[in-house]
Structure 1
């Protein structure tokens, strides 16, 4: 037989290994059983190349696939494979895939070390196997079902952490000899990230390994966190607040028998911290792990490292969280990092305000930026009074300048002035929510007077007309109590106009209600809430508002509408997200509560 004929026959049987990472292993075991002592890897490969006899090669391949050997034989296979790595070209791709696919993590330390040396030698000699090897290594980051106990409540035990360490060690060593390999690693980390509905221990175990990689890959921290943030958002938007509330507080809770109540009372404290909605539990564990990571970096004595972490999180917020509709909890990561330094929250608010003032930014992004600023000012305990006042001053100046520039003859349709109405509602919301701090002294009252609130509410654009009824009534209560502006007449006129529109057209026009977003609504995840609660502000009405509510006719009639208040609260929970139609319920709530101040998203004293 000619040499060329032998080569053609060899290439037709030993199929070249493709450059992709698709699995080509034949899972069926060979019927020909031989002992490994009878096989030498180098001799088998050389025999296949020289004589084109493949029986021994197939026997070796079947032996490696079955993994029916102890640690000693495991070491022998990989020592010999390393010695003849120069022969493992694309024709022997099936054998290479079988070798790198063996379960090496459960072997002894010496066997694991020999495996690592073989992999390093293989990739240095044959770069076409890089994608295959990296794919197998990343698969090792995904916990199995039997690993559930080692990742209870999303936090890995020391045993679990040690189990993953050999993979990280091998990646570090590969980085040292092949610097560009991390680009391939990022591709596979993104591709193999567990499906968001996988069990909590699977998602959290993978997250742990990705965060661990930031310790030895500081140049790729942003890329790693970007992958994580994208997956967090997928979980977050699929675990809305109403589903969490329904799972945590089912309607039949009150029908629990006394024996069941005793059983519930005796449950373990840790079990009580488990979210009843599986996706919420996964998100809770992930947020707790991520906040721990942020605390470690942002509270570092190394200011440059802390500042770098803030800048990375801000870019990720701007690129991924801010444009995403209907998020519920992931945005609290930026809320949390801002609590570490006053300069962070100042920069965050200034950064968003530039978005608002930039006409080249899309209107939805400008609206979302206003919502984040207002919600941060209202809810963050770490926001200083000086920052609160300076931001309100910026808001007020922008609004007054806008009013002066707009012709009074132009249409006051909501779509034509969306950003203006959003900034006005932000002013009303922040003043109503932080009224206790803003009215505590005559100096602060003088500041509020300087905002010329009366000019804003009485302008021809009539911002109270499109605000959430709850925000408008709460703001009216504060301004009435402290004689800053008189809004009740405007609210009453707007309510009559809306009611007339309903009777005339059978439904209110969608343009009559401003899309509203309060991104820092109360945090509902149990385990990670321990980091948010100390820095989160609950609403407290000022003494003057409470006194005014009691003395006023509206306050005396409060009991009459007590049951109605509960219905309005239910409506408010649903209206915290953008809506295109206020619905008849909102008109009813506004009509009854035009003079019943203090009820608003979060306005619960």
Structure 2
């Protein structure tokens, strides 16, 4: 083994590379490393001292540090994890964020060389690089300013270049990188900027040179973190005063139910602290979802969206679909579908339909799938009417087939999947009936569906499904003459009954409409162009109501809100009433639970707030 003999007096000159070739320096460092095994540590300890982080190092110290790192890069095969533990520890404490470009390049070169020299250092080197996804805590806030963007790019571009180089030199490295990235991911309770910049790097990995190897794990991990944040949010954390103007009536329903939460017995101080904490989580989740949206847009531009969607879909099925408390994470799927309606959009709808229709899946999964399906078909502006009709046909056929083989009496708990399918049909048609009936071919298809046989079956779905959905559906069906207008349908009082409560079970999936309006301020701006709001829906009875208003206006008489309420409905408080299609106007008490609130000339003709209830009832949060 060759070595360069250098006296202690010449050590600093060696470090500065004064009069010594690169080869001589490498031989010198090899000698220093080898000497440690024999007990000679003097030069070694001095070497390690150069690597320890220091504040405000001068040009000479920078030159020595660069020289040391480069010489070590040529000596990596001599580094031993047992004898040179202090050296490895000193290197691990170094951060690219603290140095200029010369030191950065020299440190990256050492990390890459070490990873390529011996398989046992690969994980150590990968962890070293992943550590740089997030700057030191004292730099986190400064990177929010545009003046520090260059610094961020200088560091992270080198990190990702190094990861790519290691992957090329060590083919198995990407497989070992994925678990490290996921393990080091900041928790849901970490600083917003810290987790955002880390996720940025995860998404950069997914779309980068080694994305083929790590992409399938990065996106699901991001979705899992979104969901972790999502379920931590209570409705109070979302309902901010400045959001009222955006969400109109649909937000009012949420506020109403949040105010009526009977389980809320906290003190004003604890309420303030909880709300403050919720707001922090909301802002963090909002930023991360926007980051996911931007990544999806990038994937669309590069022609990778379908591939990425095919990774997201199994992740959605595994986690989000069964997490009924999820309020916003699912909008990542919604936005991907909006960017590619003919591909991703159709596939998502058909996948949910298949999940609902398969007896292999647990009932809770099937109920959740059809809730997602109903909400998706109702809200997705980008879906073609023909697809919506096709899926409605599938749901009707499934429910009709169930009716034909079911001879048992009405039991909400025993037939939850059936009732969830019935409710999905009605909910979709509340939003889509007018638009479908305006297309002759689709109107004929709807008229030929055996829906009437389902509603009149002994299982009585009109008595069990959410009364608010039933009322709105029947009102529109009557106006559209979807079935015999003179037919009377028996269903429960519009106030929620024990039958209706039993349908959803403890988790109340009957109230779960996952794509209700997104209440995250930044994320909502991306969703808005692709989203159907109830206030914009034309119902089948719109023309009739407009004529009624015109008649009232022409009469010149003073009009009150009560003039739009059927006086006879004051007697409709008792349970198990028989209500005909013609008797579908309600008083103020009944409107507390109704999709169709009483009409008001003061605010224009108000119709069904799209949110029947918060997607997760506040008392369960």
CA distance in 2, matches of 1:458, 1:558: 34
Matches within 5 A, 1:342-381: 342-381=342-381
From 511, 517, 521, the counterpart of 2:516: 521
Does residue 216 (structure 1) correspond to residue 218 (structure 2)? The answer is no
Q: What is residue 450 of structure 1 aligned with on the other side?
A: 448
Deviation at 1:559, TM superposition (A): 3.4
Q: What is residue 132 of structure 2 aligned with on the other side?
A: 140
Q: What is residue 404 of structure 2 aligned with on the other side?
A: 404
Deviation at 1:87, TM superposition (A): 2.6
From 59, 76, 79, the counterpart of 1:88: 79
- How many pairs were matched up? 512
Cα 1:545–1:357 shift into 2, 3 Å: same
In structure 1, runs of 5+ residues without a counterpart are: 1-33, 251-274, 563-584
- Confirm or deny: 8 A CA contact 1:233 1:330 kept in the other structure: yes
Deviation at 1:602, TM superposition (A): 3.9
Partner deviation per Cα, 1:79-131 (whole Å, 9 max, x = no partner) = 33234323311221221121243134443434333222322222233322222
From 542, 546, 550, the counterpart of 1:546: 542
- Confirm or deny: 8 A CA contact 2:476 2:539 kept in the other structure: no
Find the residue that maps to 2:292 and give its secondary structure.
Answer: helix
Which moved further from structure 2: 314-323 or 36-45?
36-45
From 160, 180, 184, the counterpart of 2:172: 180
Matches within 5 A, 1:187-202: 187-202=179-194
CA distance in 2, matches of 1:116, 1:291: 32
- Confirm or deny: 8 A CA contact 2:595 2:610 kept in the other structure: no
From 299, 308, 311, the counterpart of 1:297: 299
Cα 1:397–1:195 shift into 2, 3 Å: same
Partner deviation per Cα, 1:356-406 (whole Å, 9 max, x = no partner) = 111111111111111111111100111111111111111111111111111
Matches within 5 A, 1:9-88: 41-50=29-38, 52-54=39-41, 56-67=43-54, 70-88=61-79
Cα 1:561–1:448 shift into 2, 3 Å: same
- Confirm or deny: 8 A CA contact 1:194 1:203 kept in the other structure: yes
Q: What is residue 229 of structure 1 aligned with on the other side?
A: 223
CA distance in 2, matches of 1:545, 1:332: 31
Find the residue that maps to 1:412 and give its secondary structure.
Answer: coil
Q: What is residue 264 of structure 1 aligned with on the other side?
A: none
Partner deviation per Cα, 1:23-44 (whole Å, 9 max, x = no partner) = xxxxxxxxxxx98569874454
CA distance in 1, matches of 2:465, 2:279: 33
- Confirm or deny: 8 A CA contact 1:101 1:136 kept in the other structure: no
CA distance in 2, matches of 1:67, 1:37: 20
Matches within 5 A, 1:139-538: 139-143=131-135, 144-151=137-144, 157-214=149-206, 215-219=208-212, 220-246=214-240, 248=242, 277-300=279-302, 302=303, 305-339=304-338, 340-407=340-407, 410-440=408-438, 444-485=442-483, 490=489, 494-495=492-493, 515-538=510-533
Cα 1:315–1:523 shift into 2, 3 Å: same
- Confirm or deny: 8 A CA contact 2:299 2:308 kept in the other structure: yes
Deviation at 1:134, TM superposition (A): 1.8
- Confirm or deny: 8 A CA contact 1:248 1:276 kept in the other structure: no
Q: What is residue 575 of structure 1 aligned with on the other side?
A: none
Cα 1:444–1:182 shift into 2, 3 Å: closer
Deviation at 1:590, TM superposition (A): 5.5
Q: What is residue 269 of structure 1 aligned with on the other side?
A: none
Q: What is residue 574 of structure 1 aligned with on the other side?
A: none
Cα 1:277–1:487 shift into 2, 3 Å: farther
Q: What is residue 572 of structure 2 aligned with on the other side?
A: none
Deviation at 1:481, TM superposition (A): 1.9
TM-score for both structures, normalised by structure 2: 0.73
TM-score for both structures, normalised by structure 1: 0.75
- Confirm or deny: 8 A CA contact 2:188 2:229 kept in the other structure: yes
CA distance in 1, matches of 2:441, 2:76: 80
Deviation at 1:332, TM superposition (A): 1.2
Cα 1:98–1:543 shift into 2, 3 Å: closer
Cα 1:48–1:175 shift into 2, 3 Å: same
Partner deviation per Cα, 1:533-580 (whole Å, 9 max, x = no partner) = 111111245465135457899x99953799xxxxxxxxxxxxxxxxxx
Cα 1:41–1:592 shift into 2, 3 Å: closer
Find the residue that maps to 1:415 and give its secondary structure.
Answer: coil
- Confirm or deny: 8 A CA contact 1:498 1:587 kept in the other structure: no
Deviation at 1:138, TM superposition (A): 0.9
Cα 1:487–1:587 shift into 2, 3 Å: farther
CA distance in 1, matches of 2:612, 2:450: 24
- Confirm or deny: 8 A CA contact 2:372 2:514 kept in the other structure: yes
Cα 1:170–1:595 shift into 2, 3 Å: closer
Find the residue that maps to 2:438 and give its secondary structure.
Answer: coil
- Confirm or deny: 8 A CA contact 1:105 1:166 kept in the other structure: no
